[in-house]
Amino acid sequence: MDKQERTAAASEVATPKRTKEIIGRYGFSFKKSLGQNFLIDQNILNKIVAAAELDPSKGALEIGPGIGALTQQLAQAAGRVTAVEIDNRLIPILKDVLSENDNVEVVHGDVLKLDLAELIERQFKEMSGVSVVANLPYYVTTPILMKLLEEKLPLEHIVVMIQKEVAERMAAKPGGKAYGSLSVAVQYYCEPKLICTVPHTVFIPQPNVDSAVIKLSLRDKPPVDVKSESYFFRVVQASFAQRRKTITNNLGAFVGKEHREALIELLQGCGIDPARRGETLSLSEFAAVSDALLATGWSD
Ligand SMILES: C[S@@+](CC[C@H](N)C(=O)[O-])C[C@H]1O[C@@H](n2cnc3c(N)ncnc32)[C@H](O)[C@@H]1O
């Protein structure tokens, strides 16, 4: 290590000692309701940053910087970093911790309420690409990810630490217990890849569950063509409404019992055994059923 590297290592936030020191100095108390579990492991941070494929021409949007453990590393790897933090008590801490990183801007706000398309356009217009990189607050993981995906933001990758079980559901293939409407929604927009699992011991305070880092690479276009995206997602939701029920029973409740016989024929016409469960259907099978149902007008 040369002198510069030693100075950088000494100021790294992601160690138990330095995190406790910062928390103590500012008298910060954790709010469980905001999902505040701060990462204290440099190796995990390195894996997150490496997965994001950043370089000085790229921008990174961080959600929930906490006291800046990940933000510091993103500032080294990316050309520009914007970090959105909801807790106003953390804003002065972040300003101090990140005072040497002049390519970082901290925005105080609730990511669920911000106009992210406008924020990305404003903050990253000179960048050749933008990725979201974050250790997400677990209580709002799914709403945040669905907002990022449904708003069709111009992102390259979304690399996030989330609850392990949720990461497994996002990456699950048809046929298993983990496969559900979240898997279909995520895989419609992205190619998911599990990067690593993370024990609960690398956080202060420790959460009750283990975590995983997942990388979602945004697709240029969805892997299936559907006539109506919103209807496709309604059909997917309906197909998983009661997991133990067959696709016929779940979709029967969606289209109305009077169409049951016609529904069976429609499923057969799509090459789907009516006795199958939703959890066995692939994206292209859901697309076929969705387009066929839309054409009937049974459930507009
Ligand atoms: C799991 S902590 C991660 C902190 C830090 N990035 C780390 O890795 O140590 C989640 C952070 O998200 C913030 N947060 C929670 N809800 C938020 C929201 N709706 N918008 C923006 N930030 C939020 C919390 O205050 C907290 O700082």
Terminal-to-terminal C-alpha distance of the chain: 65
193-247 pLDDT per residue, tens: 999 999 999 999 999 999 999 999 999 999 999 999 999 999 999 999 999 999 9
- The tens digit of pLDDT for each residue in 132-188 reads 999 999 999 999 999 999 999 999 999 999 999 999 999 999 999 999 999 999 999
Q: Is the pLDDT of residue 124 over 70?
A: yes
- Check whether residue 168 and residue 36 sit in a common domain: yes
The first and second tokens of residue 102, run together, are: 């002049």
Give the chain's domain count: 2
Encode pLDDT of 258-295 as tens digits: 999 999 999 999 999 999 999 999 999 999 999 999 99
Give the pLDDT mean for 84-101: 97
Do 115 and 202 lie in one domain? The reply is: yes
CATH code for the domain of 247 = 1.10.8.100
Q: Which protein residue's CA is at the shortest distance from atom 6 of ligand 1?
A: 65
Domain that holds residue 233: 229-296
Nearest CA owner, ligand 1 atom 7: 38
Q: Whose CA is nearest to atom 27 of ligand 1?
A: 66
Q: Please check the confidence at residue 52 and state whether its pLDDT lies above 80.
A: yes
Q: What is the pLDDT of residue 57?
A: 98
39 assigned to a ligand binding site: yes
Pocket around ligand 1 at a 6 A CB cut-off: 34-39, 63-66, 69-70, 84-87, 90, 110-112, 135, 137, 140
Mutate to test the pocket of ligand 1, among 15, 63, 119, 162 (most ligand atoms within 8 A of CB): 63
Nearest CA, atom 12, ligand 1: 64
Of 197, 218, 239, which residue sits at a domain end? 218
CATH number assigned to the domain comprising residue 85: 3.40.50.150
Closest ligand 1 atom, CA of 40?
Answer: 9
64 is in an annotated binding site: yes
213 in the same domain as 260: no
**Alpha-carbon distance 101 to 98, whole Å?**
5
- Would you say 258 is a known binding-site residue? no
Distance (angstroms) between ligand 1 centre and the Cα of 209 equals 17
Can you tell me which atom of ligand 1 is nearest the CA of 65?
A: 6
Which structure tokens are listed for 38?
């701060």
User: What is the pTM assigned to this prediction?
Assistant: 0.94
Q: Relative to the CA of 203, which ligand 1 atom is closest?
A: 9
Count Cα atoms within 13 angstroms, Cβ side, for 58: 21
Give yes or no: residues 14 and 150 share one domain: yes
> pLDDT category, 300, cuts 50, 70, 90?
low
Burial, 207: exposed, middle or buried (Cβ in 10 Å; 0-12, 13-18, 19+)? middle
Ligand 1 centroid from CA 249, angstroms? 41
What pLDDT is stored for residue 3 in this prediction? 45
| Residue 1 binned pLDDT confidence (cut-offs 50, 70, 90) | very low
Same domain, 152 and 270: no
Q: Is 291 annotated as a binding residue?
A: no
Is the pLDDT score of 83 beyond 60? yes
Quote the CA–CA distance of 128 and 116 in Å, as a whole number. Answer: 17
Residues 158 and 202 both lie in one domain: yes
Convert 254-286 to b/e letters by CB count within 10 Å (16 or more is b).
bbeeebeeebbebbeebebebeebbbebbbebb
Looking at the structure, tell me whether residues 237 and 153 fall in a common domain.
no
- Mean per-residue pLDDT of the chain: 95
Give Cα separations from 272 to 31, 95, 233, 237, 277 (angstroms): 48, 57, 18, 18, 10
Reported confidence tier of residue 7, pLDDT bands at 50, 70, 90: very low
Distance CA 78, CA 173 (A): 33
Same-domain status, 200 and 77? yes
Higher pLDDT, 30 or 1: 30
Q: Residue 193 phi/psi, 5° resolution?
A: -145, 125
Q: What is the pLDDT of residue 11?
A: 76
Q: Is residue 172 part of a domain?
A: yes
> Counting atoms of ligand 1 from 1, which one is nearest the CA of 19?
9
